[in-house]
Amino acid sequence: MSEERIRRDPRAERETRRARAVEAEEALAPAASESPSGRIRRDPRAERAARTGRAAEPVAAQPSAVPESESGRVRRDPRAERASRTGRATPVAPQPATPVPSGRVRRDPRVDRTAQRQATAARAEAAAPVKTVADPKFLILAVPDLEDARLSSHDKDVIGAARGLADAGGGAVVVLAFTGPEGVKDGLGEAGADRMLRFADASFAGYAPERRAAAVLAAIQALNPQHVLFPDTGVVGGDVGRRVAVALGDRAASNVQRVAPDRITRRGRGGRADFALAPPRVLLVAAEAADPVIDERYEARELPAPRTEAVPRVKDRGLAATDPATVPMAEADFIVSAGNGVHDWDAFHRVAAALGASEGGSRPVCDAGHLPRHRQVGASGTLVEPRCYVALGIAGAPQHLQGISKVERVVAINADAHCDMVKRADLAVVGDVQALMPALERIAKERRHGN
Amino acid sequence: MAIDVAVLVSVGRHPVSGRARRADADARAVELALSIAGANVRLIHAGDPGEPALRDYLGMGANTMTVLRMAPEADPVLPLSAHLSSMRPQIVLMGTRAEGGEDSGLVPYLVAQALEVPLVPGIVSLSLAGERAEMLQGLPRGRRRSLAASLPLVATVPVMAPAPRMSAFGLARRGTIEVKDVTAAADEARAAWTEGPARRRPKRIKVMKAASAADRVRAVTEMAAGKGKVLQNLPPDEAAKAIFDYLVAEGIVQAKP
């Protein structure tokens, strides 16, 4: 057993290590300056730079306005440094020139926050650059309903779903729009359309499912899209989409809840089951199945629309007059609603009849028995979505405002100029409801019925 | 002259208890058929003739029902089309979509294609004027569209149609069910689907793109204030005129010229 052990002397080893370190330090740090006391001052930053072989981080240029402190050291401005590093200027609010005894300028954090918020909003509002798909690998056709020549939120969801399918594989979205002669009021490019096919002929307006299906089939033949998406609405998108699917011999997926390139989810069994399957060619998409495109702009380049011919077998005789009093609240198109500010109930019923509107009411009014319970609007009543809602003497409790959250146009008449309903309204009249109701009834009778 | 009206009915499921019942839209289609003056209403079902829920339709006033006996999940379109082709009814009615299976709403379109007759979706009333049918189509927001078409036709009835009458127990017991054996192809495409319970998602409140959580909270809680016009200190007549002008400008009410 040959045992060869080297005996180590720890003290000597330490000495050697220290000497080596001093040598290295002297070699690496030529800039080290001598302090008045005679000791050599180390510059750790230079040492680190020499070790890593990387130049020391550039110290942000100090603005000349930065005052030198009493000790003569230059003060760093960490905010300016951060801004120069990130390349983004921090919005600094105009400072109110308040002289403080110490001479320092005082910042107002509230003003700063407002300025920051304004800068964020301005960035968001700045028109997004137009995104283009020059050479798409495939096409996705979306056919919005465009009722009243507007994109409904369901339409936007469908175009958003098409956008998702197209973006997943480098495709492009073609929106087929039956615009009618007056054109579309909303931008299709903002909704997410790369291309656009327009059928502006008056024969496609109104109820023309056979013509529309023929046009969609012609577009499918011309463009050969991978998928065709419709909103699954009762008598517009759902009808045309099923006609197209039957003509193509495709087993369309309806009531589609989730859309992905390889798998979709559709609802069945009376809303109690979800089926997952590979997507067929025609998809009838439910509302809120996908998020709409926001804050982005696409090209919406117009493609030549193919010519189509179809003979309608069902005659459209236009809209029939309906009695607004019999229409269920959730379906009503125009609602005149009463709150605690209304005392003259005969005048209220007369003004609703004169305007041809359905009647609604707030919870206190229905509690008091002035209107039947099924006329109550709000969180505990009906969530209504008419095109216009006239609130007579309703202050606007949060629960009531929830009930009208989807209403596009709100007219408020209230004695209190500071109530929430006046803030919510698109047109608000501050004044006495009792005096205004007969005046509104009179003018409605004069100008609607001519007496 | 009696007009043959065939109503295709299916077995529905109660949305809460899940028990078999008459399907809501199909029951409304039967109601619509029974309300047509001089109609000879025939009920047709494809599936299991022993299903007790079928008697609910007989209890509404139709005396007999034809059941095309086939396997529960087989494809009913071909047997139905063949049966209707031989029967040649003037009007075929059914609910817009079933509530117990795929619920695709495609059957009326396939039947109309097979019979080569026009299809009218979503009707809430139907009356006959000679060889023509005059119909009202239910639209969202309580609107109705007037349509006319010549017979024969296929029409679907939505859940916004008038509510069905109650089913009478005696009539349901006395009604007869004629069974006809048919061969229906199994639905092979459906075997590849996976089925699971429906996942309810919360309603979307607001669509927005926010940089931070604070922005999201602000967007949800902040009221969109200050964009509307506020009229103050106006006499009632002028205020009423301003409101009426606004309603006319937005196309809510039509003023006489």
CA neighbor of B87 nearest in space, from B107, B61, B115: B115
Tokens 């729009």 label which residue?
A: A177
Please tell me the distance in Å from A439's CA to the nearest CA on chain B: 5
Nearest to A327 among B142, B201, B215 (CB): B142
Task: With a threshold of 0.95, tell me whether the complex ipTM lies above it.
Answer: no
Give kind and range of the element (H or E) at residue A282.
strand A282-285
Write down the domain spans for chain A: 130-303, 324-449
Q: What local confidence, expressed as pLDDT, does residue A2 receive? A: 44
A331/B142 Cβ within 8 A: yes
Q: What is the pLDDT of residue A450?
A: 73
> What local confidence, expressed as pLDDT, does residue B221 receive?
62
Q: Same fold for the domain at A130-303 and the one at A324-449?
A: yes
Q: What one-letter code names the amino acid at A163?
A: R
Say yes or no: A225 contacts chain B, CB-CB below 8 A. no
Q: Is A95 helix (H, G, I), strand (E, B) or coil?
A: coil
Looking at domain A130-303, its CATH class is: alpha beta
Please determine, for residue A1, whether its predicted confidence score (pLDDT) is greater than 60. no
A185-206: pLDDT as tens digits: 678 888 999 999 998 888 888 8
- Contact of B234 with A431, CB cutoff 8 Å: yes
* Helix A433-444 vs helix B236-249: crossing angle, to nearest 10: 50
- Min Cα distance B45 → chain A (Å) is 17
Query: Cβ A207–B101 below 8 Å, yes or no?
Result: no
pLDDT tens sequence across A339-361: 999 999 999 999 999 999 999 99
pLDDT tops 50 at residue A60: no
Q: Which residues of B touch A233 (CB under 8 A)?
A: 140
pLDDT at B48: 93
Is B243 in Cβ contact with A313 (below 8 Å)? no
Q: Do B209 and A388 touch (CB under 8 A)?
A: no
* Span of A20-29, A297-306, A378-387 with lowest mean pLDDT: A20-29
Determine the angle formed by the axes of helices B107-115 and A237-248, rounding to 10 degrees: 50
The pLDDT of residue A111 is 78
Contacts of A333 in chain B (CB under 8 A): 141-143
pLDDT value at residue A63: 46
Signed CA dihedral, A276, B140, A313, A142: sign only: negative
B229 touching chain A per CB within 8 A: yes
Q: Which residues of A touch B233 (CB under 8 A)?
A: 430-431
- The token duo for A2 is 């040959």
> What angle (nearest 5°) sits at the alpha carbon of residue A184, between those of residues A179 and A190?
125
Which of chain B's residues have a Cβ under 8 Å away from the Cβ of A334?
252-253
Angle at A186 between CA A182 and CA A192, to 5 degrees: 130
pLDDT at residue A325 in the model: 79
- Cα angle: A91, vertex A93, A97; to 5 degrees: 150
SS3 string of chain B?
A: CCEEEEEECCEEECCCCCCEEECHHHHHHHHHHHHCCCEEEEEEEEECCCCHHHHHHHCCCCCEEEEEECCCCCCCHHHHHHHHHHHCCCEEEEECCCCCCCCCCCHHHHHHHHHCCCEECCEEEEEEECCEEEEEEECHHHCEEEEEEECCEEEEECCCCCCCCCCCHHHHHHCEEEEEECCCCCCCHHHHCEEEECCCCCCCCCCCCCCCHHHHHHHHHCCCCCCCEEEECCCHHHHHHHHHHHHHHCCCCCCCC
Predicted confidence at residue A62, as pLDDT, reads 44
B225 CB within 8 Å of a chain A CB = yes
Query: Does residue A21 have a pLDDT over 70?
Result: no
| A436 touching chain B per CB within 8 A | yes
CB proximity B214 to A under 8 Å: no
Nearest-Cα residue of chain B relative to residue A239: B121
B230 → chain A, closest CA residue: A428
Mutual angle of helices A237-248 and A209-223, in 10-degree steps: 50
Residue A37's pLDDT is 67
Indicate if the pLDDT at residue A89 is higher than 70: no
Residue B185 forms contact with A (CB below 8 Å):
no
Distance (Å, whole) CA A339 – CA A345: 11
| Nearest CB to B198; choose among A274, A430, A449 | A274
Task: Identify all chain B residues contacting A277, using CB atoms and an 8 Å cutoff.
Answer: 192-194
Mean pLDDT across A278-297: 92
Res A70 pLDDT > 60:
yes
Q: What is the pLDDT of residues A258-282, one digit of tens each?
A: 999 999 999 998 888 999 999 999 9
> Across chain A, what does the average pLDDT equal?
83
pLDDT at A64: 44
In this complex, is the C-beta atom of B100 within 8 Å of any C-beta atom belonging to chain A? Answer: yes
pLDDT of residue B227: 67
Whether B147 has its CB under 8 Å from any CB of chain A: the answer is yes
Say whether A387 and B211 touch across the interface (CB within 8 A).
Answer: no
Tokens of B210: 């926010």
Q: Which of A241, A247, A321 is nearest to A283 (CA)?
A: A241
What is the gyration radius of the CA atoms in chain A, in angstroms? 36
- Which one is predicted more confidently, A290 or A29? A290
For β-strands A264-268 and A273-277, DSSP reports them as antiparallel
Closest CA to A441 of A342, A359, A351: A351
CB within 8 Å: A251 and B189: yes
Q: Is A315 helix (H, G, I), strand (E, B) or coil?
A: strand
User: A115 CA to chain B: closest CA distance, Å?
Assistant: 15
Distance from the Cα of B209 to chain A's closest Cα (Å) equals 7
Query: How many Cβ pairs within 8 Å bridge chains A and B?
Result: 245
- CA–CA distance from A159 to each of A196, A233, A259, A296, A303 (Å)? 12, 15, 12, 13, 17
Q: What is the pLDDT of residue A65?
A: 46
Q: What distance in Å separates the CA atoms of residue B100 and residue B98, rounded to the nearest whole number?
A: 6
As a whole number of angstroms, the distance between CA B118 and CA A148 comes to: 26
Its CATH architecture, for the domain A324-449, is: 3-Layer(aba) Sandwich (3.40)
Most confident among A10-19, A59-68, A325-334, B153-162 (mean pLDDT)? B153-162
Q: Residue A232: its pLDDT value, please?
A: 94
Residues 302-321 of A with CB under 8 A from B: 313-320
Does A422 touch chain B if contact means CB atoms closer than 8 Å?
Answer: yes
Mind listing the domains of chain B with CATH numbers? 3-187 (3.40.50.620)
For residue A428, the chain B residue with the least C-alpha distance is B230
What does the alpha-carbon distance between residue A93 and residue A118 come to, in Å, rounded to a whole number?
Answer: 10
A277 touches chain B (CB under 8 A): yes
What does each of the 257 residues of chain B score in pLDDT, given as a tens digit? 689 999 999 999 998 888 999 999 999 999 999 999 889 999 999 999 999 999 999 999 988 999 999 988 889 999 999 999 999 999 999 999 999 888 999 999 999 999 999 999 999 999 998 889 999 999 887 788 999 999 899 999 999 899 999 999 999 999 999 999 998 888 888 888 999 999 888 777 666 666 778 777 776 666 554 567 889 888 999 999 999 999 998 888 888 77
**How much is the pLDDT for B238?**
93
Query: Which pLDDT belongs to residue A451?
Result: 63
- Candidate from B99, B110, B227 with C-beta closest to A270: B99
CA gap A416, A432 in Å, rounded: 9
pLDDT of residue A299 exceeding 50, the answer is yes
